[in-house]
Structure 1
């Protein structure tokens, strides 16, 4: 099943919306494409632990994660939540009717708690400009975006 979720890349004070496509199919493997850095490539370990520790499953299927645009470098662990939600939706562990209306960002701890991210205000401003209904970010970042 193919699911699209949205995240954001921050460069300086500018944010760019990133489309994260997650596809699950028969087979085994985890493939991450779209110019991710090492922290994003390591996300599968954090995501698998966080899902397991919160009564979800890391699907025993072939998972392909595409981060677009492919020519834009994606950095950091803030895409953990974006990818995790995509995996949960693609594997039908959660419903995803409205998911495409939100920017989702957050670093996952192994127990599933969220760590704050950088650039929350820029992400909120860009999401508003592009007509998203809202953003899903760690509670620790709420003060950062209260003025937007």
Structure 2
């Protein structure tokens, strides 16, 4: 199953809409594509820990996360929450009926608590458009 939501990449005072797609299928690998920096790639560890803390599981199947468009560099840990929600929906652990209608951003602590992110104002302006 494929889950889709939106995030945002901030560059200065501008924000660009980022489509976050998560596919869970046959296999046993984890892939993140779409020009993520190391902090975004590390979200796998934060997301897995947060999911386990709340009694969910990281799928032991092939998980592919696509951050589009691929030509925009994605930086920071603000993609943790939309990735976690996409994994939960794509693995059919939780159903978010209108996930694809929202811009979601948030850094996850290992215990699942949300941490503040930078660039909220440009993200909100872009989301309103």
Q: TM-score, normalised by structure 2?
A: 0.98
Structure 2 residue runs without a partner (length 5+): none
Cα distance in 2 for residues equivalent to 1:14 and 1:71:
16
Written as runs of structure 1 = structure 2, the 5 A alignment for 1:92-103 is 92-103=92-103
Q: Could you give the per-residue CA deviations for residues 90-148 of structure 1, whole angstroms, max 9, x where no partner exists?
A: 0111112211111000000000001000011111111111xxxxxxxxxxxxxxxxxxx
Pairing 1:114-125 to 2, within 5 Å after superposition: 114-125=114-125
**Runs of 4+ more than 2 Å apart:** none
Match runs of 1:1-148 below 5 Å: 1-129=1-129
Q: How many angstroms apart in 2 are the aligned matches of 1:13 and 1:25?
A: 38
Q: How far did residue 3 of structure 1 move?
A: 1.1
Gaps of at least 5 residues in structure 1 are 130-148
- Relative contact order (alpha carbons < 8 A, sep ≥ 6): 1 or 2 greater? 2
What secondary structure sits across from 2:22 in the alignment?
Answer: strand
Q: What is the aligned length?
A: 129
CA RMSD after TM alignment: 0.6
